[in-house]
Amino acid sequence: MIESVSVLVLDGVAPFEFGVICEVFGIDRAADGVPNFDFKVCGPEPGRPLRMTVGALLTPGYGFDALVGADLVAIPAIAGPYPEEALDAVRAAAASGSIILTVCSGAFVVGAAGLLDGRKCTTHWMHADELAAMYPTADVDRNVLFVDDGNLITSAGTAAGIDACLHLVRRELGSEVTNIIARRMVVPPQRDGGQRQYIDQPIPVRCSDGFAPHLDWILVNLDQPHTVATLANRASMSARTFARRFVDETGRTPMQWVTDQRVLYARRLLEETDLDIDRVADKAGFGTATLLRHHFRRVIGVTPSDYRRSFACNDSSCAATA
């Protein structure tokens, strides 16, 4: 059960990530049936303004000592270096039994405090390699939206922080409370933590004018069967030349690229239509739902059915998630 929440802030705190924590845990929603949290913003010196990354000032009402003993210590993205007093307080909070939750690069604060050793964790995909290099004993997952490792929850950037916060609310307080908060925030109440946080768009940015029409044709004919030989024949090239050119232009083999495009098209169909999974698989060129599920989970990180539950755009969900 979470009753008290303390947020660590320092010079260089990011406003969005800080705001996510405030939005989920810091707003009085008692009238809607959500229990109020004892919410404290904690910095080096109560009443002394801190400069945020956008140049605005933030004034904490509490010192580092208010971190210790809180049920939840939340850490937004904060630019380093971090004062040792702050790290000592985070260590003491963890030792006292606090759940530690980080948003985006807040994971670096936990790493600096020595709390990532041997732990599963994540951060924004742009910073994941740096986090793994700085803390080699940490088990950094570069792909997922968030990682729940018991008393340590780490999340990727921006909206993934919302997902992690709502996941923790659900874990500790149940789905009813979570759904109320999500409706007030106008966000989906759940995205699976294993969903990929970043999916490369396989369409190349600088595809040559001579090759682009071949890709355009594939995109409007994804439902047709394709092989390297048939695509090469249509492009009036040998299979070997076509495959080499394709990799040069896209960075992917022809069939890797086609499969990724089919997954992305299937994703759009799941979001925007009520077609059943078999029909989605057929229109996207997979032929069978089994094959769609295999490739969809590989690329997106969740099953087509789970993805649709979170992102399907029907009359009610469109209004709730726009």
As given in the structure block, the two tokens for residue 202 are 């396989």
Q: Please, which residues have CB within 8 angstroms of residue 9's CB and are 6 or more apart in sequence?
A: 18, 41, 42, 43, 50, 58, 60, 76, 78
Q: What number is the average pLDDT over the span 68-83?
A: 96
Residue 1: exposure state from Cβ atoms within 10 A (0-12, 13-18, ≥19): exposed
Return the pLDDT at 319: 35
Return the pLDDT at 264: 87
> Position 85: which residue type?
E
Write down which residue in 185, 204, 227 finishes a domain: 185
Q: Are 101 and 178 in a shared domain?
A: yes
Confidence of residue 16 (pLDDT cuts 50, 70, 90): very high
Q: Are 150 and 259 in a shared domain?
A: no
Q: Which of 99, 103, 145, 139 minimizes the C-alpha distance to 121?
A: 139
| In a domain? residue 202 | no
Of the two residues 100 and 215, the one the predictor is more confident about is: 100
Weakest mean pLDDT among 145-159, 167-181, 207-221, 286-300: 207-221
Q: Are 151 and 27 in a shared domain?
A: yes
Q: What number is the average pLDDT over the span 70-87?
A: 97
| In a domain? residue 11 | yes
| In a domain? residue 190 | no
| In a domain? residue 200 | no
Q: What number is the average pLDDT over the span 173-200?
A: 72
What's the CATH code of the domain at 266? 1.10.10.60
Q: Are 179 and 104 in a shared domain?
A: yes
Q: In this predicted model, what pLDDT tens digit does every residue of 81-101 receive, in sequence order?
A: 999 999 999 999 999 999 999
What mean pLDDT, rounded, does the chain reach?
A: 89
Q: Are 180 and 216 in a shared domain?
A: no
| In a domain? residue 303 | yes
Residue 203 in this model has a pLDDT that exceeds 70: no
If one counts the domains in the chain, the total is: 2
Number of CB atoms found within 10 A of residue 271's CB: 15
Q: Which residues constitute the domain of residue 173?
A: 4-185
Return the pLDDT at 1: 87
Q: Are 152 and 287 in a shared domain?
A: no
Q: Are 286 and 178 in a shared domain?
A: no
What's the CATH code of the domain at 50? 3.40.50.880
Under 8 Å between Cβ of 245 and 237: yes
d(CA 225, CA 234): 13
Residue 48 in this model has a pLDDT that exceeds 90: yes
Percent of the chain with pLDDT over 90: 70
Q: Please, which residues have CB within 8 angstroms of residue 267's CB and are 6 or more apart in sequence?
A: 296, 300, 307
**How much of the chain is in helix, strand and coil states, percent to nearest 5?**
45, 10, 40
Q: Which of 59, 21, 12, 64 minimizes the C-alpha distance to 39?
A: 21
Q: Are 17 and 164 in a shared domain?
A: yes
Return the pLDDT at 302: 85
Under 8 Å between Cβ of 196 and 299: yes
Write down which residue in 185, 203, 223 finishes a domain: 185
Q: What is the dihedral of CA 176, 172, 143, 309, to 10 degrees?
A: -20
Return the pLDDT at 196: 57
d(CA 141, CA 123): 8
Return the pLDDT at 205: 42
Task: Print burial letters for 9-30: b (CB count within 10 Å at least 16), e (below 16).
Answer: bbbebbbbbbebbbbbbbeeee
Q: Are 94 and 218 in a shared domain?
A: no
Q: Are 131 and 17 in a shared domain?
A: yes
Q: Are 89 and 146 in a shared domain?
A: yes
Residue 65 in this model has a pLDDT that exceeds 80: yes
Q: Are 12 and 69 in a shared domain?
A: yes
| In a domain? residue 207 | no
Return the pLDDT at 191: 60
Weakest mean pLDDT among 40-49, 66-75, 190-199: 190-199
| In a domain? residue 199 | no
Return the pLDDT at 316: 42
d(CA 317, CA 322): 8
| In a domain? residue 124 | yes
Q: Which of 13, 20, 318, 11 minimizes the C-alpha distance to 165?
A: 20
Cα dihedral sign for 19, 165, 120, 98? positive
Number of CB atoms found within 10 A of residue 3's CB: 13
Q: In this predicted model, what pLDDT tens digit does every residue of 135-186 receive, in sequence order?
A: 999 999 988 889 999 999 999 987 889 989 999 998 899 888 988 998 888 7
